[in-house]
Structure 1
Amino acid sequence: MPSPVEIPYRSFISFDRNSNTSVYLQISNAFISAIRRNILSPNTKLLGTRALSNLLGTHRNTIVSVYDELASQGWIDIKPNQGAFISPTMPQTADGSLLDITYANQTGFTFRKSALLDSPYERGNFQYSFNDGIPDVRLTQLDDLARIYSATLKRKSNRRKMDYHNQDGSPYFKEQLQGYLSLSRGLQISAANMLITRSVEMSLFIIAEVLLDPGDIVIVGALSYFSANMIFQKNGASIRTIPVDEEGIDVEALADICQKQKIRMVYVTPQQHYPTTVTLNVQRRMRLLQLAQEYHFAIVEDDHDYDFHYEKQPMLPLATLDTNGMVIYVGSFGKSLVPGFRTGFIVAPENIMLEMRKLLGIIDRQGDVLIEQALGEMIEEGVIHRHLKKSLKIYRERRDQMTRIIQQQFGEHMKITKPPGGLACWLEFKTPVNLLQLGKDAAKEQLFIPRNILYQNGQLTAIRLGFGHLTNEEMEDSFTILKMLMERQIKN
């Protein structure tokens, strides 16, 4: 039972001394409304009449009249030498129904609804699950995270940073991230070229708000990242697709479109194309930059899973080759850590960065200086490098394990593309299978297969299947279920 002193009476009691309705009835009605909305729950003790009259600035006799009125209607019980309490039973109307109010299930006004933003992440409680490629949080070095974050929180020098005046990201974190991006990606940039966001999706949202007008044409791969497409379309853009093969997006198909239509933006994931995991080759990268300069469209480069590579040093980003300001580079930092320690960033020329900072200042005014400070220290101390080195060894083993299972147990039904990096494989079916039905059947066997990893049309049946979050045992068990369900569906 809450203390009567803690009840926020002023938040639900107001009255007008000039009203034709007496003050005590106005207060009584306010109490009744609060009880019916469960702001005051049954058996809650109320303030004494003297204390409440002092709080509300009324005469004590007014509150006495209020309590008498509430008691006569059955809303409160007055117990001698104990006080006034909300009645455990609600009063009833003449027909015996309760005088009760529950929160409305629907609005009383109209609003726009968007099917574009329907989430594909319909997650339930399952023993096993597939996804499109996420890290395993169980591999995170939680001791390091806890030590650095706790020290950051306690450090007095950081307290002056905890205000609303640092909307452009922590200078210390930007300095460390600048060095990290220079060493890992060859990006020779300054702090003025960087914007710190909460995620890649927030970065794309900001870019879309700054660059896109309704009707603008955005080019993406025929298979592309669904969240990016949703963001661009929500902003009124018209999405056009170009083919994707083993060498990445077809830039000559892009050239054909450019000759016929005005293109505003091309969205690419050149390092690990989403969802097929292929890498855009050097010749196509150079041709893409040439087309951007010739036709004056922006390239938004999403460095999806850049930190996760297993065979050799990955190609440097398109942004490192761009000398004409055509590329906006988007990425995430700390993806191998627990979700709360991840952040996003944008790298772009200074003039457009000024507009992006304005928008960020509206949608994320305070930022997260503590997380940014901790991440900066993790870079400076080498924690990020050590953690990635350990986790990459495990992720490579899991990639190889998934490849072996698919080739050995599903070879006649599937073809797997073994990626050089990232956290997911691309599986194409040789045998006709109904993927949506497969997902429904899997759910009955405690295996969750989300809709966003399924790709099926008249020409293609495929799955983008993440391996990063699965141990070898979980992988074996999950594929045992999948194989059983596939064979059952094929026989029928």
Structure 2
Amino acid sequence: MIPYKSLLIVDKSSDTPVFLQLSDQFAQLIRAGTLSAGQRLPGSRQLASLLSVNRQTIVAAYDEAVAQGWLESQPGSGTFVASHLPEVNLQALPTDLASDPHVGQATGTRRPGYAFESVSFLNRPVLTNTGGLRLDDGFPDVRLAPLAELGRAYRSYFRWGNPQQHFGYADTKGHLLLREQLSMYLNETRGLHTTPNNILITRGSIMGLHLTSQVLLRPGDVVVTGETTWAGGTMNFRKAGATVLSIPVDKHGIDVDALAALAGKMPIRLVAVTPHHHYPTTVTLRPNRRVRLLQLAEQYGFAILEDDYDYDFHYLSRPILPLASSDHQGMVVYIGSLTKSVAHAFRIGYVVAPTELIDELARLRRIIDRQGDTMLEFAVGHLFKTGDLKRHFRKALRTYHARRDHFCDLLATEVGNVIQFTKPDGGLAVWATFDPAIDMTTLSDRAGRSGLYLSNGLTHNPPGQALNGTRLGFASSTEDELERSVSILKTAILSL
């Protein structure tokens, strides 16, 4: 005898109709093997009495389960579990799974029933903005974002053009308005020589980096980065099967002589750099090394991936132009983003490269993400066209410049005896190294308990080295918030 009264649970407070609850539970019992193929179910009156529901509810539940193929009705005989269903042989779970509270639940199952490879180097904490005081990785202040202007641009999208055109499929490379405006902006501010066909719009710079890695790299290819570098980049290179080698980084950027020596010994496929403000140390690659790097790329035939993640914020005279502005042989793939310039929710990045590579990247992007957010791309393109975004950049630059100066003064005055740093020429963070006696993990934990987010910096350590440093972002905090943050930092240091 099947204890239907115990197995079938009716929740009349649920938004799901009772007949659907019962139909779903019949399916679950059949999948679990509790009800077997061909088994006769109670009559509708009998089951309605057992569950204290209306008979028509049971009739509706049976009809729904019949329609879904789990049950079959035989006129004059009753309702049965479908005879075509295979027999379920229940097996005992392994000991470690039998005690797992997630196993057997319809949702939230923890372990799949099949094997797959888990890649350890992808295991990296995901940063989120939880509010409160923070000295972050170098994020923009979203409170400065031109949200009102963006809202107006969004509304204009709904009044623009043919609805069948702009609410349907769009160009995989990105909205033409944004590519046109971005091309003009990059040519004007960075000395590039682009057309819209040289640009692929992506969902943030990380997507552009991933696509580029997949197209350019094959298993065994050599990628060269600085000893200190962005983990998101090396993760993509390694996932593409490349061998990642590193060269020293000093106060003038990557050591191009070390790169030349390496290139003389083995073929190099790609060199990844952040020359404007090296990540994480913020140093700028000086001009003679830039020239030498481009010469080496032409001599040895490797591609340069230039990640220019915060070009718009440089406080010392005019920014140094990107490598891509001096690239006459098509050796540089230039990647940028609006997430650091406006807000992280603006998932717009871009890849600038020769048109043949852009076309291939677009073909690959199509099988991953058919197109970007057309409405957002139009709205941002509109903000470029009206000048609203350029005005935002100028306003943010003044604000971040003042915050950088105030923050560096605070660091020097309050904790200058235990940290070393150089006031950065640009960017949104200070690279600080702490006294070796200070344990960064303990310091981060104590600051967190006092309401201040502070990275322990471990992700910046090259293999086998302990830099005992971290990035201290200042742009996302007001001057008052910076004062309170440094006060907590000082107290946490003194408590060690």
TM-score normalized with structure 1 length: 0.81
Task: Using the TM superposition, give the Cα deviation of residue 64 of structure 1 relative to its aligned residue in structure 2, in angstroms.
Answer: 11
Q: What are the Cα deviations for residues 204-223 of structure 1, in whole angstroms up to 9, with x where unaligned?
A: 11011011111211111111
Matched, 1:2 2:7: no
Matching of residues 419-438 of structure 1 within 5 Å:
419-438=424-443
Contact map agreement 2:170 2:371 (CA 8 A) in 1: yes
Task: Using the TM superposition, give the Cα deviation of residue 288 of structure 1 relative to its aligned residue in structure 2, in angstroms.
Answer: 0.3
Q: Alpha carbon RMSD of aligned pairs, Å? A: 3.4
Contact map agreement 1:23 1:62 (CA 8 A) in 2: no
Contact map agreement 1:416 1:428 (CA 8 A) in 2: yes
Question: Which residue pairs with 2:59 in the alignment?
Answer: 49
Classify 1:62/1:184 alpha carbon distance in 2 versus 1 (closer, same or farther; 3 Å): farther
Q: 2:487 aligns with which of 463, 480, 486?
A: 480
Q: What is the letter of the counterpart of residue 2 of structure 1?
A: D
Question: Which residue pairs with 2:451 in the alignment?
Answer: 446
Q: 2:407 aligns with which of 370, 392, 402?
A: 402
Question: Which residue pairs with 2:301 in the alignment?
Answer: 296
Classify 1:188/1:416 alpha carbon distance in 2 versus 1 (closer, same or farther; 3 Å): same
Matched, 1:150 2:155: yes
In the alignment of these two chains, the number of paired residues is 442
Q: What are the Cα deviations for residues 425-468 of structure 1, in whole angstroms up to 9, with x where unaligned?
A: 11123453211221122222222223457645656322211111
Task: Using the TM superposition, give the Cα deviation of residue 203 of structure 1 relative to its aligned residue in structure 2, in angstroms.
Answer: 0.6
Classify the secondary structure of the residue corresponding to 1:167: coil
Classify 1:12/1:144 alpha carbon distance in 2 versus 1 (closer, same or farther; 3 Å): farther
Q: What is the letter of the counterpart of residue 480 of structure 1?
A: S
Question: Which residue pairs with 2:225 in the alignment?
Answer: 220
Q: What is the letter of the counterpart of residue 266 of structure 2?
A: Q
> Which segment drifts farther, 437-446 or 258-267?
437-446
> Which segment drifts farther, 124-133 or 423-432?
124-133
TM-score normalized with structure 2 length: 0.80
Q: What are the Cα deviations for residues 390-409 of structure 1, in whole angstroms up to 9, with x where unaligned?
A: 12111111111110011111
Task: Using the TM superposition, give the Cα deviation of residue 45 of structure 1 relative to its aligned residue in structure 2, in angstroms.
Answer: 11
Residue ranges of structure 1 left out of the alignment (5+ in a row): 32-41, 68-99
Q: What is the letter of the counterpart of residue 415 of structure 1?
A: Q
Q: What is the letter of the counterpart of residue 468 of structure 1?
A: A
Contact map agreement 1:126 1:448 (CA 8 A) in 2: no
Question: Which residue pairs with 1:82 in the alignment?
Answer: none
Q: What is the letter of the counterpart of residue 470 of structure 2?
A: I
Matched, 1:169 2:179: no
Q: What is the letter of the counterpart of residue 366 of structure 1?
A: Q
Task: Using the TM superposition, give the Cα deviation of residue 421 of structure 1 relative to its aligned residue in structure 2, in angstroms.
Answer: 1.3
Task: Using the TM superposition, give the Cα deviation of residue 318 of structure 1 relative to its aligned residue in structure 2, in angstroms.
Answer: 0.6
Q: 2:381 aligns with which of 346, 353, 376?
A: 376
Q: What are the Cα deviations for residues 340-378 of structure 1, in whole angstroms up to 9, with x where unaligned?
A: 323011111122222211111111103211111101100
Classify the secondary structure of the residue corresponding to 1:260: coil
Distance 1:316 1:45 in 2: 77
Contact map agreement 1:126 1:447 (CA 8 A) in 2: no
Classify the secondary structure of the residue corresponding to 2:162: helix
Distance 1:425 1:249 in 2: 18
Distance 1:43 1:153 in 2: 49
Contact map agreement 1:121 1:450 (CA 8 A) in 2: no
Classify 1:66/1:473 alpha carbon distance in 2 versus 1 (closer, same or farther; 3 Å): farther
Q: What is the letter of the counterpart of residue 154 of structure 2?
A: Y
Question: Which residue pairs with 1:471 in the alignment?
Answer: 478
Matched, 1:353 2:358: yes
Contact map agreement 2:297 2:303 (CA 8 A) in 1: yes
Between the two proteins, what is the percent identity of the paired residues? 37
Q: What is the letter of the counterpart of residue 489 of structure 2?
A: L
Classify 1:23/1:353 alpha carbon distance in 2 versus 1 (closer, same or farther; 3 Å): farther
Residue ranges of structure 2 left out of the alignment (5+ in a row): 1-13, 31-35, 81-102
Classify 1:175/1:122 alpha carbon distance in 2 versus 1 (closer, same or farther; 3 Å): closer
Q: 1:319 aligns with which of 296, 321, 324?
A: 324
Q: What is the letter of the counterpart of residue 15 of structure 2?
A: P
Classify the secondary structure of the residue corresponding to 2:345: helix
Task: Using the TM superposition, give the Cα deviation of residue 140 of structure 1 relative to its aligned residue in structure 2, in angstroms.
Answer: 1.4
Question: Which residue pairs with 2:105 in the alignment?
Answer: 102
Task: Using the TM superposition, give the Cα deviation of residue 5 of structure 1 relative to its aligned residue in structure 2, in angstroms.
Answer: 10
Distance 2:156 2:129 in 1: 37
Question: Which residue pairs with 1:94 in the alignment?
Answer: none
Contact map agreement 2:324 2:332 (CA 8 A) in 1: yes
Q: What is the letter of the counterpart of residue 462 of structure 1?
A: G
Distance 1:128 1:239 in 2: 36
Classify the secondary structure of the residue corresponding to 1:208: helix
Distance 2:425 2:286 in 1: 13
Q: What is the letter of the counterpart of residue 232 of structure 2?
A: S
Classify 1:152/1:124 alpha carbon distance in 2 versus 1 (closer, same or farther; 3 Å): closer
Q: What are the Cα deviations for residues 162-195 of structure 1, in whole angstroms up to 9, with x where unaligned?
A: 2235212111211111111111111111122111
Distance 1:399 1:442 in 2: 21
Classify the secondary structure of the residue corresponding to 2:317: coil
Matching of residues 170-185 of structure 1 within 5 Å:
170-185=175-190
Q: What is the letter of the counterpart of residue 217 of structure 1?
A: V
Contact map agreement 2:223 2:245 (CA 8 A) in 1: yes
Matched, 1:276 2:281: yes
Q: What is the letter of the counterpart of residue 228 of structure 1?
A: G
Task: Using the TM superposition, give the Cα deviation of residue 232 of structure 1 relative to its aligned residue in structure 2, in angstroms.
Answer: 0.7
Distance 2:65 2:292 in 1: 73
Q: What is the letter of the counterpart of residue 321 of structure 2?
A: L
Classify the secondary structure of the residue corresponding to 2:174: coil
Contact map agreement 1:52 1:63 (CA 8 A) in 2: no
Distance 1:110 1:352 in 2: 36
Distance 1:449 1:464 in 2: 9
Question: Which residue pairs with 1:112 in the alignment?
Answer: 117
